[in-house]
Structure 1
Amino acid sequence: MTTTPDATGWREANRANWDERVPVHAAGDFYDLPGFIAGRDTLCDFELAEIGEVRGKTLLHLQCHIGLDSLSWARRGATVTGLDFSRPAVDVANALASRIGSTTARFLTADVYDAVQALDGRTFDIVYTGFGALCWLPDIAGWAQTAAKLVAPGGFLYLAEFHPVADVLADDGRTVEENYFQRDPIVVDAPGTYADPDAPITASLTFEWLHGIGEVVSALAAAGLRLEFLHEHDSGHFRFPAGLPVPQVYSLRAARIG
């Protein structure tokens, strides 16, 4: 792993990598599509509690990948729109929606920074972003401004994300691998994915960014959203040994002002 300030072509490199991940993820045990089709849920208990009732509400899932979280919300009665920059991922998500008989979910292909235009200025009761999304974005201020424009009056943005403190630690949860305050891109050139380390991914070059919690919260405030809560959790979608006293994920909710 190396770091460099030169991230020319980051979007194209990341999209090519994610396009190749899609068939691996759709076929593998990590996402367990047969289990999901049979009714398995992908949402955390704290997400359900913190977002609350979604029946009859509109929900936009930014960076939705193959749509499992999106469709989990649709199963709970939300009218869901999922957006992702990978066309193969969107194709899988739309096929899954059809497979489970969902009539309240649709998916479209667009870069997150182009979401306002792609959605023709529509706004949503809930704008949702799930785990592992923000690290692929270089401009958090731009992301926050985009998300804020998509929140309907009276609505809110909800984010559940890996904690940036955990992101700088190695798999043992104790050894520091990255600088928490690093803002230059982290450039990785390695085959495989988190879902299958041995997968023969040929578009192996990716660009990622670390974003501190202060950076995220400040960007949302500057975009005109009012923070309702910020919670840190010691368990969630992460790899550390049980009981390790490290914040593993965090969640926040920010409402539209006015």
Structure 2
Amino acid sequence: MTSTAGASEWRAANRANWDERVPIHAAGSYYDLPGFVAGNETLRSFERAEVGDVKGKTLLHLQCHIGLDTLSWARHGATVTGLDFSAPAMAVAAELAQQIGVTARFVPADLYDAPGALDGQTFDIVYTGIGALCWLPDVAEWARTVAALLAPGGFLYLVEFHPVADVLADDGRTVEEDYFSREPMVVDDPLTYADPDARLTASLTVEWRHGLGEVVSALADAGLHLQFLHEHDHGHFRFPPGQPVPQLYSLRAVKPAAPVGRHLEGP
């Protein structure tokens, strides 16, 4: 990790990094695009159970990368839109949709610009998958953006790496980071998790740590009502099995179907 110098250029640095990852991820075995085209499922069983039946629902996947989870929801019957700031990722996702015969819309745009990029469209479900929130500096603005993208009565479903797990070393037991730090983490690393042999030239990235309370409070402040928050003791790719720590969390938060008016007492 380097110092926080250069953090103000986070968007350009992160986009360049993820643009360069796209062909590596599309060609490698980690995402296994041939297997996906053949019918492999990318969603975890608890995700499908917690979201429920998506047939006939409109679903927006924020920060969708190359769209495998987006298209998996389409296979389960949703009308899907994927959004990501990487145009090369959106091109790969659109090509995958054609290969599997699924209708899907993929929009290259920054998350914070999503309402305008989607022409004010709202959705029954907004979905955000694992490894997304760390790339955003302002989780409160993220929550307000999600609320703007939801139709009344719609819900956000988020599944994410647990922030406790993110402060642990690869052994899953040793604390090596400060849970409460909200400073930008500027990292210069040419590697990508999907291919240990690949080397990136756009190696600088900027990430942020967001605590569980911060995320839940941001959603509440944005007017969404939490239905559940579940913690999972499995699913983190870095850890050996059997680690007694929360590794993932999932939550569902609903946008009220109608604003609740204040009750005014008479004299």
**Equivalences for 1:137-216 in 2 at 5 Å?**
137-216=136-215
Q: Which one is further off, 76-85 or 3-12?
A: 3-12
Given residue 39 of structure 2, which amino acid in structure 1 is its aligned partner? G
Partner of residue 61, structure 2 = 61
Q: Distance in 2 between matches of 1:126 and 1:71?
A: 14
Given residue 116 of structure 1, which amino acid in structure 2 is its aligned partner? P
Partner of residue 18, structure 1 = 18
Partner of residue 247, structure 2 = 248
Q: What CA deviation, in whole Å up to 9, does each residue of 1:50-84 have, x standing for no partner?
A: 00000000000000000000000000010000000
Q: Distance in 2 between matches of 1:30 and 1:6?
A: 31
Q: Distance in 1 between matches of 2:30 and 2:107?
A: 24
TM-score (normalizing by structure 1): 0.98
Q: Distance in 1 between matches of 2:255 and 2:31?
A: 33
The runs of at least 4 consecutive aligned structure 1 residues that moved more than 3 Å come to none
Given residue 228 of structure 1, which amino acid in structure 2 is its aligned partner? Q
Aligned Cα root-mean-square deviation (Å): 0.9
Total equivalences in the alignment? 257
Displacement after TM superposition at 1:178 (Å): 1.1
Percent of counterpart pairs with the same letter? 75
Contact 2:231-2:248 within 8 A present in 1 as well: yes
TM-score (normalizing by structure 2): 0.95
Q: What CA deviation, in whole Å up to 9, does each residue of 1:153-180 have, x standing for no partner?
A: 1110000000000001111011222100
Structure 2 residue runs without a partner (length 5+):
259-267
Displacement after TM superposition at 1:242 (Å): 1.1
Q: Distance in 2 between matches of 1:209 and 1:116?
A: 23
Q: Is structure 2 residue 132 aligned with structure 1 residue 133?
A: yes
Q: Distance in 2 between matches of 1:11 and 1:117?
A: 18
Partner of residue 96, structure 1 = 96
Partner of residue 263, structure 2 = none
Structure showing greater Rg: 2
Q: Is structure 2 residue 14 aligned with structure 1 residue 9?
A: no
Q: Distance in 2 between matches of 1:211 and 1:5?
A: 20
